[in-house]
Amino acid sequence: MAQNRKSPPRSNRSPWLIGLIVAGAIAIVVAAAWFVAGALKSDEGSQAKAPATWAEVSSVNAEMQSLVFDPTDPSRQYLGTQGEGLLASQDEGRTWKSLGLLAGAVLDVGINPKNPDHLLAATTSGFMVSKDRGKSWTTPEGLPVGEYHVAQFDPNDPTIAWAGLWRGQPTLFRSTDGGENWSPVVGGPQGGDINFVSFDKEKGATYASAYGKGLFSSSDRGETWKIAGTGIPTNTDITMVTFNSDRSVYYAGTHDFGVYRSIDGGNSWEPSNNGKESASDVHGLLAHPSDLDAVYAAGMMMGKGVFVSNDRGQTWQSVETGSINLDDVHIFTLSPDEKGIVMGSGEHGGTPFGTLYRTEF
């Protein structure tokens, strides 16, 4: 006997209405997928990537201390070392030749932006001046013998030059005639061991720091000074100051206390070490030239020598550097084309052997 089957219930909705509902659901799903994909792509694009690979540029049998690029010809570079004095390259750092200054370490080099033949050199055995690209050197009048850590020209007005002495009295000197004559600076960081002098070329500001004095700024090329905010301990060396391109965040590197940051134009500072396993000596601090959120730090950080933050210094992550020994980084600077980082290790496996590396953002 045949079994009767029940017919499935018939919908009371018309076929055109069902088609409309199905089409609408598909459209919603597709739109959501595009939204999610777009959001992920936007988020990915807004964050600077940590440098992936580091290419070796060159090596020297000395501890690397400082590196500067000729502003009129970036292929010409000067490398200050301890062990081989001052070296010069004409091929973007691939090969080097000696310019002397072998007595002690060359800690800073200044290049006159309007006359690249004119160099200043801060060394542990004195302050030196050259007017022929390092072929010959003289000691300027008005500067005492001592260990100098700063030799700089003002990038906007190279008639203004700076010399910073480590230990002594006075310690910060300024020249108003391009380095011919020098006189002590009044006020500001005067009297403390000078760590650095740097510049905000766009705003015409000069920054300087001395141990036990703090961080100072000048808007009139060193005529007058003011304390550059509060929050950074004075019982440390402030090693450098940098900022992102719209000046919404300022960063300061220190010895012993890691990185500090300011979000109010440098009026107040707060620690910025979340995620950095060792908040110790910061030898390099570099804001990305176009990504406002990205900043890089390097230094003596328990073997993990390079860090990146993609949220304006709120959190940090270690950058993979493979087998490179980066226990002590002394050179950490933007490449001349602003497309990457040039880094130099001061020591390699505990021996005085320095290597330059480059990576792309």
Strand partners, 91: none
Residue 37, classified by CB atoms within 10 Å of its CB into exposed (0-12), middle (13-18) or buried (19+), is exposed
Looking at residue 38, its pLDDT comes to: 33
Mean pLDDT over each residue of the chain, to the nearest integer = 83
Question: Is residue 242 predicted with pLDDT exceeding 50?
Answer: yes
CATH pick for 56-360 out of 2.130.10.10, 2.170.120.12, 1.10.3720.10, 2.60.40.180: 2.130.10.10
Which parts of 277-339 are beta strand (E)? Answer: 281-287, 295-300, 306-309, 317-318, 329-334
Q: Among 205, 282, 279, 275, which Cα is nearest to 239's?
A: 282
Provide the residue ranges of all domains of the chain, joining segments of one domain with +.
56-360
Phi first, then psi: what are they for 184, rounded to 5°?
-65, 145
Question: Is residue 231 predicted with pLDDT exceeding 50?
Answer: yes
Looking at residue 337, its pLDDT comes to: 93
138: DSSP letter: B
pLDDT band at 361 (very low <50, low <70, confident <90, very high): confident
pLDDT band at 175 (very low <50, low <70, confident <90, very high): very high
Looking at residue 184, its pLDDT comes to: 95
Question: Is residue 319 predicted with pLDDT exceeding 90?
Answer: no
Question: Is residue 326 predicted with pLDDT exceeding 60?
Answer: yes
Q: Is 196 helix (H, G, I), strand (E, B) or coil?
A: strand
CB-based contacts of 186, cutoff 8 Å, min separation 6: none
pLDDT tens per residue, range 30-48:
333 333 233 223 333 344 5
Looking at residue 347, its pLDDT comes to: 58
Share of the chain above pLDDT 70, in %: 80
pLDDT band at 143 (very low <50, low <70, confident <90, very high): very high
> pLDDT: is 12 or 185 the higher one?
185
Are residues 121 and 104 in contact, defined by beta-carbon separation less than 8 angstroms?
A: no
Looking at residue 281, its pLDDT comes to: 80
